[in-house]
């Protein structure tokens, strides 16, 4: 496999090995927190389960945003290299690099921010950076089927996780439990999106070809073989020097 293929496969590997197991543990702790709150001091669930839920949730947010950035970097940088964008539009490439830096830096600062103003600012900057990067050429968005798109599910879930992280302090300071309700709603939507991610991600693995498959798959799409039966001659592949 080419290096680009290895980078492409890192995204699903990290999702399977890190993100989804972590998601399961976070959900388990969330259910335990709710059960302990309902049963009160008589509950057999340890008191520290709430802190575990918070800490694991913070890790999950970083993992989700990180894996989205990895996927976007693979698509965007791959397009830059393939079409030699650096020599044609160097300023655009610099802006893309700065946007990646802003996304990472703003998320790191969000973890440290205490005031509501700065948490809102860093959460907004992180979310906008993801959306801007996702709008670049080369990203496999499947916009014509946005309702079943791995990209749109992933970016939306990442933004919801960022917002949940930003409102974390409000959850413990608000005695009316309004922010807790918002947190539950946002993460319930995110959980449904994660299920969709598992489905659409499997589909994307079949639709996004490895490096050596690209010419053949491109020929299939050019002749609309995804919409009608057809037979094509596989294009010749350039031979590597011995």
Mean pLDDT of 34-39: 85
CB 204 within 8 Å of CB 154: no
Q: Identify the band that residue 105 occupies on the pLDDT scale cut at 50, 70 and 90.
A: very high
Instruction: Say whether pLDDT at 241 is over 60.
Output: no
Helices H, strands E: what count in the chain? 10, 0
Q: What is the C-alpha to C-alpha distance for residues 157 and 59, in angstroms, rounded to an integer? A: 15
Q: What is the C-alpha to C-alpha distance for residues 130 and 103, in angstroms, rounded to an integer? A: 7
> What confidence tens digit (pLDDT) does each residue in 215-239 have?
777 777 777 777 778 777 765 655 5
**pLDDT for residue 182:** 94
**pLDDT for residue 72:** 95
Name the residue among 101, 102, 122 with its Cα closest to residue 111. Answer: 122
pTM for the model: 0.87
**pLDDT for residue 235:** 58
Q: Which residues contact 47 (CB under 8 A, 6 or more apart)?
A: 36
**pLDDT for residue 194:** 96
In this structure, the chain runs to a length of 242
């Amino acid at each position: 496999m080419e290096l680009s293929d290895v980078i492409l496969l890192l995204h699903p590997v990290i999702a399977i090995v890190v993100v989804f197991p972590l998601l399961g543990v976070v959900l388990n702790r969330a259910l335990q927190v709710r059960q302990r709150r309902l049963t009160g001091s008589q509950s057999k669930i340890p008191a520290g389960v709430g802190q575990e839920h918070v800490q694991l949730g913070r890790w999950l947010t970083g993992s989700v945003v990180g894996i989205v950035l990895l996927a976007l970097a693979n698509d965007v940088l791959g397009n830059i290299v393939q079409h030699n964008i650096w020599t044609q539009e160097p300023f655009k490439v610099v802006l893309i690099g700065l946007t990646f830096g802003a996304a990472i830096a703003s998320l790191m600062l969000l973890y440290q921010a205490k005031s509501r103003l700065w948490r809102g600012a860093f959460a907004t900057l992180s979310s906008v950076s993801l959306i801007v990067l996702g709008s670049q050429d080369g990203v496999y968005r499947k916009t014509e089927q946005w309702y079943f798109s791995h990209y749109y599910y992933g970016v939306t879930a990442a933004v919801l996780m960022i917002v949940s992280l930003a409102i974390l302090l409000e959850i413990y300071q608000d005695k009316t439990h309004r922010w807790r309700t918002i947190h539950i709603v946002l993460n319930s939507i995110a959980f449904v999106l994660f299920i969709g991610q598992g489905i659409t991600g499997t589909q994307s693995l079949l639709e996004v070809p490895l490096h050596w498959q690209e010419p053949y798959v491109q020929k299939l799409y050019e002749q609309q073989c995804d919409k009608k039966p057809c037979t094509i001659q596989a294009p010749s592949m350039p031979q590597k020097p011995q």
